């Protein structure tokens, strides 16, 4: 079962919202396999959670198409938004509670994963923001971040986009890596992203930062028909130490990289307040970005940092040369990881360098990042009226 939790605050009295839901509920539930509920907060006046339960992935995917294409649904959703103090925060979950085995394992209806890929029943946690029915954007965060670490971008896009932001595996509230998965972490994480793209009702805008940028790049190469446009914020360049494993060469993370990431996580774990204060002194990030960054760090799978922190195949410039979707590279002025422009002859790939920004361009220089990305998306997707 797929469940959406829409957290909001009413701009009207309780009776008005309840009356609207009583009128809208039959329309929401008309296709069957859908249940809608409303829960008021006991501690925060006006705060509520609207819960939408879908029987399976097929039902959920079909309803996402209905939300985007059915004028009656669009009208109800627009009316619902007028009753809210601000756009709701949306979270999506899949119930994967395991029942006692009664026979050979079977593939669930609507499950896009192969039954033997080692990840069945272990989906990512996906955070939903923005406005349902608008064009869909999928955000892939960087190392040690989470789907909750995009607060300024989410606020900037609140009225224009329907935003999905997963916690990558080993991050946030998504599943941890198994021992076997740690040995092939890049492939597991890419498979997760491909599953997410396969579950979308229509092609999406794919946005990635750092590790998420590398995953977005690889996913766009695997599923070009599922990606309308690609935005890569200083994507992580694959790097590692080659080692022999049987008759093949594999790459493992540099020990100094692992040590640096672990030390940074430990510092936040030991004294969150001190790290937040340091970030306020040393960066231009907003308080919302710093707080979200600090909140995500204790949720990182430390086994992944210790054993899975390698990025797989070292191919780089050739990946950009092979892209078949409009792509925007948003880079800091000094971008050591960026692909060499003389080795990427692809008219679909555009670069924007932002002076004064470091690796986290959107946090260091948000106005420049938003201007570049909004212009690119307007050109390739059109304006959201």
The burial class, CB within 10 Å (0-12 / 13-18 / 19+), for 370 is: middle
Confidence band of 120 (pLDDT split at 50, 70, 90): very low
What totals of helices (H) and strands (E) does the chain contain, helices first?
14, 13
Spatial CA neighbour of 338 closest among 355, 316, 360: 316
**Within 13 A of 151's CA, how many CA atoms are on the CB side?**
13
Phi-psi sector, 165: left (phi>0), alpha (psi -120 to 50), beta = beta
Q: What percent of the chain has pLDDT over 90?
A: 58
Spatial CA neighbour of 251 closest among 179, 313, 177: 313
Residue 41 or residue 121, greater confidence: 41
Report the pLDDT value the prediction gives residue 344, as an integer from 0 to 100.
94
**Within 13 A of 69's CA, how many CA atoms are on the CB side?**
8
| Residue 128 three-state SS | strand
What is the per-residue pLDDT across 30-51, written as a single tens digit (0 to 9) for each?
Answer: 888 888 999 998 888 889 999 9
State both tokens at 179. 């021992």
Per-residue pLDDT averaged across 139-157, rounded? 96
- Total residues found in the chain within this entry: 385
State both tokens at 244. 């022999």
User: Between β-strands 47-54 and 34-40, what pairing exists: parallel, antiparallel or unpaired?
Assistant: antiparallel
Question: What are the residues whose beta carbons fall under 8 Å from the beta carbon of 96, sequence distance 6 or more?
Answer: 121, 122, 123
Contacts within 8 Å (CB) and 24+ apart, 334-340? 335/234, 337/234, 337/235, 337/236, 337/237, 338/234, 338/237, 339/237
The burial class, CB within 10 Å (0-12 / 13-18 / 19+), for 256 is: exposed
| Lowest-confidence region among 56-70, 302-316, 338-352 | 56-70
Q: What is the pTM of this model?
A: 0.73
End-to-end Cα, the chain, rounded Å: 33
Q: Is the pLDDT of residue 116 over 50?
A: no
Separation of CA 43 from chain center: 30
Report the pLDDT value the prediction gives residue 103, as an integer from 0 to 100.
33
| Lowest-confidence region among 69-78, 130-139, 348-357 | 69-78
- Tell me the C-alpha to C-alpha distance, in Å, between residue 148 and each of 174, 192, 230, 294, 366: 12, 18, 20, 11, 17
The three-state (H, E, C) secondary structure of 83-101, written as one string: CECCCCEEEEEECCCCCCC
Q: Is the pLDDT of residue 247 over 50?
A: yes
User: Between β-strands 227-233 and 204-209, what pairing exists: parallel, antiparallel or unpaired?
Assistant: parallel
């Amino acid at each position: 079962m797929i469940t959406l939790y829409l957290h909001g605050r009413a701009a009207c009295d309780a009776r008005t919202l309840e009356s609207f839901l009583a009128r809208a509920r039959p329309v929401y539930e008309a296709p069957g396999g859908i249940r809608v509920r409303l829960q008021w907060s006991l501690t925060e006046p006006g705060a509520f959670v609207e819960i939408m339960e879908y029987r399976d992935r097929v039902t959920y995917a079909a309803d996402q198409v209905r939300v985007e294409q059915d004028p009656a649904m669009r009208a109800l959703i627009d009316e619902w938004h007028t009753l809210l103090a601000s756009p709701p925060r949306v979270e999506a979950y899949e119930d994967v509670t395991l029942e006692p085995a009664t026979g050979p394992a079977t593939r669930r209806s609507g499950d896009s994963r192969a039954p033997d890929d080692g990840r069945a029943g272990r989906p990512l946690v996906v955070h939903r923001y923005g406005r349902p029915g608008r064009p869909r954007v999928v955000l892939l965060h960087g190392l040690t971040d989470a789907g909750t670490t995009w607060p300024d971008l989410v606020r900037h896009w609140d009225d224009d986009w329907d935003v999905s932001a997963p916690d990558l595996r080993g991050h946030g509230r998504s599943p941890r890596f198994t021992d076997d998965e740690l040995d092939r972490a890049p492939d597991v994480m890419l498979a997760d992203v491909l599953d997410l793209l396969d579950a979308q009702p229509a092609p999406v805008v794919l946005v990635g930062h750092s590790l998420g940028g590398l995953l977005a790049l690889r996913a766009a190469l695997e599923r070009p028909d599922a990606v309308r446009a690609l935005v890569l914020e200083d994507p992580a360049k694959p790097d590692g130490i080659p080692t022999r494993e049987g008759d093949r060469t594999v790459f493992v993370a540099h020990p100094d990289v692992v040590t640096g990431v672990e030390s940074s996580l430990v510092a936040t774990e030991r004294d969150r307040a001190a790290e937040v204060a340091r970030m306020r002194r040393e960066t231009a990030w907003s308080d919302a970005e710093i707080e979200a960054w600090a909140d995500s760090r204790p949720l990182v799978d430390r086994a992944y940092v210790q054993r899975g922190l390698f990025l797989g195949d070292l191919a780089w410039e050739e990946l950009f040369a092979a892209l078949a979707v409009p792509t925007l590279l948003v880079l800091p002025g000094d971008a050591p990881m960026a692909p060499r422009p003389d080795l990427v002859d692809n008219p679909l790939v555009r670069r924007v360098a932002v002076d004064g920004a470091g690796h986290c361009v959107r946090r260091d220089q948000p106005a420049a990042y938003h201007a570049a990305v909004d212009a690119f998306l307007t050109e390739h997707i059109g304006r959201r009226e």
